[in-house]
Copies of this chain bind each other. A is one copy, B any other.
Amino acid sequence: MADIGIIGSGVAGLHLGLFLRQHDIPVTIYSDRSPQQIAESRLPNTVAHHHATLERERALGVEHWDPQKYGYFANHHYLGGPRPLAFRGDLRAPARALDYRIYLPTLIEDFRERGGGFELRPIKPENVVDLSSRHDIVIVASGGTGLSAMFPKRAAASPYELPQRRLCAALFHGVDHPDPKGMSLSVSPGHGELLELPMYSFAGHVTALLFEGLPESELADPADADPGEDAEAFERLVLERVRTHFPGVYERISPAEFRLTRPEDVLRGGLVPTVREDYARLPNGKYALSLGDVHTVVDPIVGQGANSASYSAWVTGEAILEDHGFDARFCEKVARRRAERTLAAAEWTNLMLRRSAAPHVLELFSAMAEDPALAEEITDNFNRPERQWDILSTPERTRAYLRARGKEVQP
């Protein structure tokens, strides 16, 4: 029987580990942090799980947080500028944003209870070969200690050398959820975006604000502020930027109650969107497969990273179940099966990262604003980024899609 080693205890590693344990396959996760250390860490992200990911959680038996209670039900859009546009897309099934410092330790516990091996030890690149001799294949699902470099960057799918946004994510009290309860994605043309997510964290039901600031814009300021030095100054800065750029969010804020939940509930930085090779052959003839962020790093602007990682874990698990070897053929199979979705997630994200919105994206937004059914369809495609990219990969496709939905479009 196969024996699988997984480096990394993020969503990719855990969903794969849980999948394998459901089928009684021996699996060990190597983590550089204990559940306790994860729980006590700085805010790691502001991830939302779309319905397709929640369905995988249900199948894995880890649906501990009922999306009716912990989730949300709509994506609210706001496009600023001289003629602002506001519209929403209802979710056909709820999504859910849960603090990963609660989520991951709980799943580690599930994994261990179900017979999964969990070893607390950081794996460095020079230890991977050694580790591989203990397993049939090593899945590299954590890039934390330089492991990503095992998998060369795929230049054609990785157009950027630098982060395209300065990011600042933090959790706040004092923001009323939009109605229906939902996330909001607001664009301030020439400056960047604000994502707002109803999130469940240690402080209870709170709001995540994620600034996506163009590097030279004042929306990048929150990423440069240090709330550890002066939390009140940070809160004032955030409030001021929201007021100036995102009036629809600002009007739901009670300034008197607006405050950072906890000092550690802030994350600042930026990501270089990167797609890496799917696998590497090790010197001893065994193979290592990249998973999650090690395979694809996407900016959080359309919330695809964790969902893509979970999907990729599932595809990998299914291939492990059905296959008889862990060689190049196995790795190629996983690569081919996950390519359509994972590459689409990366390309769609990169389109949304352009400094100014592409005209065909604006055409789609206008159609969504006019037609709730169309807005719902596009919103549902957050579950299937390959469909979104079918629509958005060229202006011709967007117009063909709109025409097929009965819209008048310029020829």
Contacts and interface: CB of A to CB of B under 8 A. Distances in A.
A394 B337 CA distance: 21
Interface in A360-411: 387, 389-391, 393-394, 396-398, 400-401, 404
Nearest to A329: B393
A110 to B, nearest CB: 27
A332 to B, nearest CB: 9
A283 B399 CA distance: 23
Nearest to A391: B324
Contacts of A389: 329
Contact of A327 (B323, B325, B394, B398): B394
A21 B266 CA distance: 56
A347 to B, nearest CB: 10
A336 B324 CA distance: 22
Nearest to A327: B394
Interface residues of A, number: 24
Interface string A297-338: 000000000000000000000000011110101000100110
A387 B324 CA distance: 10
A337 B340 CA distance: 9
B324 A390 contact: yes
A324 B327 CA distance: 36
B329 A340 contact: no
Interface in A205-248: none
Interface string A63-90: 0000000000000000000000000000
A393 B401 CA distance: 42
Interface string A141-173: 000000000000000000000000000000000
Contact of A325 (B323, B387, B396): B396
A339 interface: yes
A339 B336 contact: yes
B324 A397 contact: yes
Interface in A21-35: none
Which of A329, A340, A398, A401 has most B Cβ within 10 Å?
Answer: A329
Contacts of A333: 340
Contacts of A401: 324
Given A336-B340, A339-B336, A327 B396 contact: yes
A389 B390 CA distance: 31
B390 A323 contact: yes
B325 A394 contact: yes
A75 B394 CA distance: 49
A120 to B, nearest CB: 31
A42 to B, nearest CB: 39
A394 B391 CA distance: 41
Nearest to A323: B390
Contacts of A340: 333, 336-337
Contact of A400 (B324, B390, B400): B324
Nearest to A335: B336
Tell which of A333, A390, A401 has the most Cβ of chain B within 10 Å: A390
Contacts of A397: 324-325, 327, 329
A136 to B, nearest CB: 9
Nearest to A339: B336
List the 5 closest A-B pairs by CB distance, nearest first: A325-B397, A324-B400, A324-B397, A324-B401, A329-B393
11 contacts: A324-B390, A324-B400, A324-B404, A325-B393, A325-B396, A325-B400, A327-B394, A329-B390, A329-B394, A336-B339, A337-B340
Given A322-B390, A329-B397, A336-B336, 4 more contacts: A324-B397, A325-B397, A327-B394, A329-B389
